[in-house]
Amino acid sequence: MADRCFSLALMVLAVALGGAAWQLDVPFQYEPVGPKAIPLILAVLLLGTALWLAIRPDRLKEAYGRSLFVRHVVVVLCLLVYAWSFELLGFVLSTWLVGTLFARLFGLDWGRALVYSAALGGVGHLVMSGLLELNVPVGTVFGG
């Protein structure tokens, strides 16, 4: 069932890819193959293989429970919060915040999670920004 749903999505994607490629027009070109040829070939192949997958799907043995889905949603939300807060709060604060959430999710108690993530943010900043001279945001709320 999962394979069939996915192959349906792939077929929609293939049609969209082919449709968009068909509309790629250039006023003039110096070569016989334009920008649309390869995407069109790929769209046709993708449509064909997705159709094949829909006809002969795999029987997936793994069960995917609701509790696992909730945990995955939490992980994705944490990652989105990190991405959103990375520039806004800066590296140290956002790492502290999201590091704590991840440490909690993987079984650390609140106290240890807070201390560990604070250390990770601080040491990480020293290493990444100071030692390796990488572009690490200070945070727009701090004028960075």
**Both tokens assigned to 57:** 């799907």
**Binds other proteins (CB under 8 A): choice among 116, 118, 138, 139:** 116
Q: Is 115 in the site for other proteins (CB under 8 A)?
A: no
**Contacting other proteins within 53-112 (CB under 8 A):** 53, 56, 58, 60, 62, 64, 67-68, 71-72, 75-76, 79-80, 82-84, 86-87, 91, 95, 98-99, 102-108
Q: Does 8 bind other proteins (CB under 8 A)?
A: no
Identify the helix (H) or strand (E) that includes residue 131: none
The owner of tokens 């649309």 is 36
Token code pair at residue 121: 């943010």
Q: Are 78 and 86 in contact (CB under 8 A)?
A: no
Task: Identify the three-state secondary structure at position 136.
Answer: coil
**Cα dihedral sign, 121-127-130-132:** negative
Q: How far apart are CA 24 and CA 47, in angstroms?
A: 19
In the complex, the residues that contact other proteins under the rule CB under 8 A are: 2-3, 6, 10, 17, 20-21, 24, 26, 29-35, 38-39, 42, 45-46, 49-50, 52-53, 56, 58, 60, 62, 64, 67-68, 71-72, 75-76, 79-80, 82-84, 86-87, 91, 95, 98-99, 102-108, 113, 116-117, 120, 124, 128, 132-137
